[in-house]
A and B are shown apart, each in its own frame.
Chain A
Amino acid sequence: MEKEAKAGGSGREREELETLTITKVAEVSAAIDGAKHVDEVIRALHFPVDSPLVAGVILDERSRNQILSVVLPKDGERNCWKNAFYRGSAFPALSRILLYNVASKWLADFPKLARKQVYDSFFVEGPTTEIVQALVPSLKQKGSTKDDFNVICSNIERLLMLCLLENEGVRLMVGEFGLLDEQDNNILKPDKVTFISRISQLLSSIPDKVRLRASSALSSHSFFRRVANQLLTGAEERAVQLNCNAIPDAAFLFVGETFSHVCRRGSIDVIVAEVIPRILSLVQSFLSSNANLVVPDVINSNPKSHFWLNMVEAIKDQYAVEKFSEEMLRQLASTSISDVEVYWILWILFSKNFKFGSFVRGMFVDKFLLWKVFPLCCLRWILQFAVFECPPNSDAQMEGRKTPHFLNSLQLLISIWSRREFVQSSSMEQQAYLTAAVGLCLERISKEELDATKDALSNILQGVSCRLESPIDLVRRMASSIALVFSKVVDPKNPLYLDDNCCEPVDWEFGMLPQRKQIAAASHNEDENKSKLFLREDRKSASDEKKQRVIKHKSAENNALIQELADPDENRNPVEVNGEHFSGEEDDDDSSDSSLKPYDLSDDDTDLQRKFSQLGDIAAALRKHDDPDGVEKALDAAEKLIRASPDELSHNSGDLVKALVHVRCSDVAMEGEEDSAEEKRQKALVALLVTCPFESLDVMTKMLYSSNIDVGQRILIIDIMTEAAQELCNTKVVKREQKQGELVSAVSQPWYIPSSRGPPGAGPWKEVSEPGTFLSWSHRYEREIPSRPGQTKAGKSRKWSLGKAKDLQVEWSQNRFPLYAAAFMLPAMQGFDKRKHGVDLLNRDFIVLGKLIYMLGVCMKCMAMHPEASALAPALLDMIRSRDVSNHAEAYVRRSVLFAASCILIALHPTYVASSLIEGNQEISGGLEWIRTWALHVSEADPDTECASMALTCLQLHAEMALQTSRALEAADQFKAQTRTLPPKLDNIIIPFSSTKF
């Protein structure tokens, strides 16, 4: 082999050989340049191969003779010569000629055999490292013409496939590096390291350098798969050669370098896919041979595992190691593999570095637990390997012995988990993941250990409590899960269930770790429901004691019922025992028994409920907190009575609003019916707001910021306002607005109009003019009354009058909300940023703030395209633009802001936007521009995925709005062209996807 040649040749000899080869190459080059026929080229190139073989393929007689006449060197000489040729500068020179000149001009004409024997052999025979160095850089060099370039490249690609894939050149390369290592006594000199790095880089760059139309074997997936396969085979062979010593090895280094380069090129998955079956079979062989006890020593002593133990070390690039490990875990998760096997795979790969290198430890404990999100099974493996540091099937004794690292890691996890910032700013998957990590760790800890770790206890409590305040249901579920596990650590017999649906084996996936894509779809509405639910749940806990009492009471009642309705035969016994007096009547009674057949004994208490007929009674009953039945009945009756809209409603509305808001439904209602009571209360309040908006809103908005109601009530008020706005907006009753010729519309009926009493079905009063006179001193009204049953209409009646136009101006409006919009929004927007006793919307009560903004958004939406929207939009924009709101730490608030911003975009009429641009209305134009930039910012940088997706929707709406506005502007332009020049404010709005900007 070459080794002998190298050993045999002294320095001088080598120099001579080199000059010889160079002159030879010069000759060949000259010959090729002067060649007229392909045979001449073949003849010139034939020197490394056996002449007769070549002669067979050459057609030209002369050339054939020439080839045959050449004296072949002997084998030893040949090797020396070959070595000098490839290692020296001759090969690069010749390869250039071959790759460019020959390939572009002559190669197409080569006979197949000649190509293989003469041309290809130059590359196939040589050491792969040199071949790679010669071939790969040429891929990118431009030929003279495009055709030339294509020919050259396709040839190079062919050669690469031939050398690297078909001849397993990569595997050979590993061997070459091994030899290289041995020559230098296993010392990795810097130049050798750079050489290795260079080769591996060239190798890994091949798929990126080849042309698009290159063979699929060179596509990164299949190429790297085969390369990895060869690398691993080569490395394993090398490991057997080394037999557990001599590290670090250049061959391993090469493999590692290649892996890291492939990783940098984003194809680590291919490598991992190749690695897993190999290492798995290795682990399985260990596991099967050592039935239940796999001792690390067994693995260490096996030469085959030698490479694997050192592989991760060989990958010097930390990024690559991380990617490799991550991909490894993910791919393992998708296979059905036992925990034990995974543990040992991880152990083989990482244990060495884990013990000594801080990087791998940091990677597992910090990165994989705190920054990444893996499926739950991966999390278990990571914890098993990096935190518990024992195989999963180990006995209790081994488990009981916990490393100091364990407690440190746990403490780290808990401290991060408990931070409020973490809850606020990290994504939901991340939170679920970390929660699962903490929970799984806590499941393994004992009370003593918990006490030993400082701060852990308080941190857990802090984390749980700050999660329980969250508006997001999932976050609260995380808190209750941790609380459950924690309580079991503290007292195994007394688990703490904060939640009804908190089950015993905690589902640490929280429905999001494996299918991670789904949460982004959650809408704002869901959140709203969740927060409602949250409130209710909170209230629920308060009424737990009451519940128990009620349950007892109920069961007693039920027993009584059962007794009462029990089989009459059973009841006969006492009669027979004590009823001697009746025995004489037996015969008489039996005959009449049939007459004593019971009637239907079903009974309900609907008629027993107190009937409320006065609004005042309801308000009074609601205030009597010591009479829960009365309150409940008042709640039952309230909505219906309010909807009936009696005359005194406007006087009682404020009173009712206060009473309803202050009712504690959870105390009043029976167990399990809190929700319905709550619903009734809400419905009644909505009815109040809808039937009597101004008076009720006056009271309600004042209460919103008063310090004597709690967060739940504040949220209730906001919810009510939201619902009322929507109801007013969707009024189905078409209201006939009568224009009385007044500028100020009267809310209540004016005194001079007759009362609306009358038979059902009577129409509204209409003013009629006095016929004949233009001036009338009195008002005359008439209305239509339905004909009485039995009354028949005979003939027609006609009425002639002056026919005032206003009678005909009957407006049909479906949306009643715009009239009240200002009353809804303006008071609510005042003072949201003030801090008072018990009121702190910006920080503590951020849920209220979020809901408030959401409500304002709904209000905006409800008056979309109405002129009122344009009047109120600047105020709302002003509010949401304030830094404290738009950059709020809680994602919940930001979501609301995005919602409100979107609503503004929907609500503004394009012509209004256009006119405000033309007029230079800074409030609107600036605000809209702010929405765009801010939404852009959020969509790019917000940690909350839902925020980001909402921001995208917001951007879309902005684009639509801009489009509509630009159309309106065009119309305005046409108009303006005739009137006056456009003011310079026009470009204040950026229209995306149009040519002006963007």
Chain B
Amino acid sequence: MSGGGGGGKPRPPPDPIAVMRGHRAPVMDACFHPSRPLLFSGAHGGGAGVYSVATNFAIGNKVVSQGRDGTCKCWEIEEAGLSRKPLVTFRTNSYHFCKISLVKSASCSSQSSKAIPASERIVESDYSINELEENKKNGVSKESIRFSDVNCAERSQAHLKDFSTMGERKLMALAGEDSSMVEIWDLATAKKLMRFPQTSNVDAASHPTMQRGMCMAIQAFIPSESGCSLNLLSGYEDGSMLWWDIRKPSLPLSTVRYHSETVLSLAVDGTCSGGISGSADNKIVMFSLDHRMGTCTMRKEISLERSGIAGTAIRGDNKIAATAGWDHRVRIYDYRKGNPLAILKYHSASCNAVAFSADSKLMASCSEDTTVALWELYPPKGTS
């Protein structure tokens, strides 16, 4: 079936459906609101600005931004925009290149079709624009909570206690004050909960993780298989990738080194059973995580003509993955097979991040050229 497209000239890659030019500085990151038609983007030019933004079902109607000034801020999404003042400001004292990561949950993710039964998918299909409009009128925070509730209600009863505590505590992962450390922060209390690797202060410098240089990319997730404990993937300057389990903070579950250069971005798919990583070398690696064995194996390695992948993202339905390249291009891959699908040329400077909307309809790419482009690619069935 896949080889059907033999005849004829392939169609040209699509153009962005919309371009947002509000920023005056390179756009560093963007994220979609999980339920409402909102896109948050952060630009960072000179010394000030937003280095990364993140939002999630789990954190409610809020958005977290990270600056390069050693602080992270949590904002309330209000009717007319963001709150004037952040809800919480927490000083992480971290000055590095690692973007923050909220916790991605295999079962919480509305699009993870394996974990969530068919009823969930009906809900998904109900995400029409009208409904979202309606949501908007009704008050977003309530709606958001409702979704959370639905998700939680439909969760299996076998969930462990620590998951719920973790899940409800709204956590955030980022590289710490010592930039080779990974820290977990509680968003609500603005407190540092723990850090990886967890070592005594004496042998901190000699810990093998410390030899890997700065932590450059983090992805936190809660897989359904591993007893719903918080897991972390962290990529380092030397190209290695570590898989942590919060229950074993001293040593990683698995250490792999697929890249010859710094790992710049990590993304885990909706089922938390695999992911994609981009780095400063000319490779994109798709890997799979075996939770029972605790091993990470390379599934596919894609070589690139021009090196440098600053951002990666996997669509919620696990069909396609996108990468943001230093070569100004956004590349789309079939996530399952790993074959290239499109090379999107729009940006006139290197791309910093890509993000998919929760409904899988849209993709945003942000670039040094101060624009954010919106793309409509391979829209899911049932929508037109």
Q: In angstroms, how far is the closest chain A Cβ from the Cβ of B125?
A: 15
Q: In angstroms, how far is the closest chain B Cβ from the Cβ of A621?
A: 18
Q: How far is the CA of A563 from the CA of B300 in the complex (A)?
A: 12
Stretch from B140-148, B239-247, B301-309 contacting the other chain: B301-309
For window 628-645 of A, CB contacts with B under 8 Å fall at none
Q: What chain B residues lie within 8 Å of A605 (beta carbons)?
A: 306, 327
A-B contact pairs, 27 of them (CB 8 A): A560-B305, A568-B337, A574-B299, A575-B300, A575-B336, A578-B288, A579-B288, A579-B299, A579-B336, A590-B1, A593-B1, A595-B381, A596-B341, A597-B4, A598-B340, A599-B10, A599-B13, A599-B332, A599-B343, A600-B11, A600-B13, A601-B340, A601-B342, A603-B343, A603-B345, A605-B306, A608-B306
Quick check: is A805 within 8 A (CB to CB) of the other chain?
no
Q: How far is the CA of A608 from the CA of B271 in the complex (A)?
A: 36
Majority DSSP secondary structure for residues of B touching A: loop
Q: In angstroms, how far is the closest chain B Cβ from the Cβ of A564?
A: 6
For window 1-53 of B, CB contacts with A under 8 Å fall at 1-5, 9-14
Cβ A607 vs Cβ B348 within 8 A: yes
Closest to B379 in A: A595
Cβ A560 vs Cβ B304 within 8 A: yes
Cβ A598 vs Cβ B338 within 8 A: no
Q: In angstroms, how far is the closest chain B Cβ from the Cβ of A352?
A: 77
Majority DSSP secondary structure for residues of A touching B: helix
Q: What chain A residues lie within 8 Å of B297 (beta carbons)?
A: 578
Cβ A575 vs Cβ B339 within 8 A: no
B contact set with A: CB distance below 8 Å: 1-5, 9-14, 113-114, 271, 273-274, 282, 288, 297-300, 302-306, 318-320, 327-329, 332, 334, 336-343, 345, 348, 378-379, 381
Determine which of A564, A568, A595 lies in contact with B3 in the assembled complex, contact meaning CB atoms within 8 Å.
Answer: A568
Cβ A568 vs Cβ B339 within 8 A: yes
Stretch from A114-122, A581-589, A869-877 contacting the other chain: A581-589
Q: In angstroms, how far is the closest chain B Cβ from the Cβ of A584?
A: 7
Closest to A560 in B: B303
Quick check: is A449 within 8 A (CB to CB) of the other chain?
no
Determine which of A568, A578, A581, A600 lies in contact with B2 in the assembled complex, contact meaning CB atoms within 8 Å.
Answer: A568
Q: How far is the CA of A600 from the CA of B345 in the complex (A)?
A: 12
Q: In angstroms, how far is the closest chain B Cβ from the Cβ of A230?
A: 86
Q: How far is the CA of A582 from the CA of B320 in the complex (A)?
A: 13
Q: What chain B residues lie within 8 Å of A578 (beta carbons)?
A: 288, 297, 299
Known A564-B304, A582-B336: A599·B328 in contact at CB below 8 Å = no
Mask of A659-701 contacts with B, CB within 8 angstroms, 1/0: 0000000000000000000000000000000000000000000
Cβ B337 vs Cβ A571 within 8 A: yes
Q: What chain A residues lie within 8 Å of B299 (beta carbons)?
A: 574-575, 578-579
How many interface residues does chain A have, given as a range?
35 or more
Q: How far is the CA of A585 from the CA of B334 in the complex (A)?
A: 14
Q: How far is the CA of A608 from the CA of B326 in the complex (A)?
A: 10
Q: In angstroms, how far is the closest chain B Cβ from the Cβ of A473?
A: 39
Cβ B3 vs Cβ A599 within 8 A: no
Closest to A566 in B: B339
Number of inter-chain CB pairs below 8 Å: 113
Quick check: is A297 within 8 A (CB to CB) of the other chain?
no
Determine which of B274, B303, B306, B327 lies in contact with A563 in the assembled complex, contact meaning CB atoms within 8 Å.
Answer: B303
Cβ A597 vs Cβ B305 within 8 A: no
Q: What chain A residues lie within 8 Å of B306 (beta carbons)?
A: 605, 608
Q: What chain A residues lie within 8 Å of B13 (beta carbons)?
A: 599-600
Q: What chain B residues lie within 8 Å of A582 (beta carbons)?
A: 336
Cβ B334 vs Cβ A596 within 8 A: yes
Cβ A596 vs Cβ B319 within 8 A: yes
Cβ A569 vs Cβ B5 within 8 A: no
Closest to B318 in A: A585
Q: What chain B residues lie within 8 Å of A597 (beta carbons)?
A: 4-5, 10, 341
Determine which of B273, B300, B305, B337 lies in contact with A557 in the assembled complex, contact meaning CB atoms within 8 Å.
Answer: B305
Cβ A592 vs Cβ B381 within 8 A: yes
Q: How far is the CA of A592 from the CA of B382 in the complex (A)?
A: 11
* Residue among A561, A567, A581 with the highest chain B CB neighbour number at 10 A: A581
Quick check: is A355 within 8 A (CB to CB) of the other chain?
no
Cβ A575 vs Cβ B329 within 8 A: no
Q: What chain B residues lie within 8 Å of A563 (beta carbons)?
A: 303
Known A579-B299, A603-B329: A598·B341 in contact at CB below 8 Å = yes
Q: In angstroms, how far is the closest chain B Cβ from the Cβ of A591?
A: 8
Shortest 6 CB-CB contacts between residues of A and residues of B:
A560-B303, A599-B342, A568-B339, A599-B13, A600-B10, A581-B273
Q: In angstroms, how far is the closest chain A Cβ from the Cβ of B301?
A: 9
Closest to A595 in B: B378
Q: How far is the CA of A498 from the CA of B146 in the complex (A)?
A: 81
Closest to B10 in A: A600
Mask of A376-411 contacts with B, CB within 8 angstroms, 1/0: 000000000000000000000000000000000000
For window 890-922 of A, CB contacts with B under 8 Å fall at none
- Can you name 7 extra interface pairs (CB under 8 A) apart from A564-B303, A598-B339? A564-B340, A596-B319, A598-B5, A599-B342, A599-B343, A607-B345, A608-B327
Quick check: is A594 within 8 A (CB to CB) of the other chain?
yes
Cβ B339 vs Cβ A571 within 8 A: yes
Q: What chain A residues lie within 8 Å of B271 (beta carbons)?
A: 581
Closest to B327 in A: A608
Quick check: is A798 within 8 A (CB to CB) of the other chain?
no
Q: How far is the CA of A605 from the CA of B329 in the complex (A)?
A: 10
Closest to B317 in A: A592
Q: How far is the CA of A596 from the CA of B305 in the complex (A)?
A: 23
Mask of A218-246 contacts with B, CB within 8 angstroms, 1/0: 00000000000000000000000000000
Determine which of A564, A574, A595, A599 lies in contact with B305 in the assembled complex, contact meaning CB atoms within 8 Å.
Answer: A564
Cβ B2 vs Cβ A569 within 8 A: yes
Cβ B342 vs Cβ A564 within 8 A: no
Cβ B378 vs Cβ A601 within 8 A: no
Q: In angstroms, how far is the closest chain B Cβ from the Cβ of A480?
A: 38
Q: How far is the CA of A557 from the CA of B303 in the complex (A)?
A: 9
Q: How far is the CA of A316 from the CA of B184 in the complex (A)?
A: 115
Q: What chain A residues lie within 8 Å of B340 (beta carbons)?
A: 564-565, 598, 601
Q: How far is the CA of A607 from the CA of B269 in the complex (A)?
A: 32
Closest to B378 in A: A595
Cβ B274 vs Cβ A560 within 8 A: no
Q: In angstroms, how far is the closest chain A Cβ from the Cβ of B334?
A: 5
Quick check: is A799 within 8 A (CB to CB) of the other chain?
no
Quick check: is A517 within 8 A (CB to CB) of the other chain?
no
Known A568-B3, A579-B299, A579-B336: A600·B305 in contact at CB below 8 Å = no
Q: How far is the CA of A572 from the CA of B306 in the complex (A)?
A: 24
Determine which of A571, A581, A590, A596 lies in contact with B288 in the assembled complex, contact meaning CB atoms within 8 Å.
Answer: A581
Q: What chain B residues lie within 8 Å of A590 (beta carbons)?
A: 1
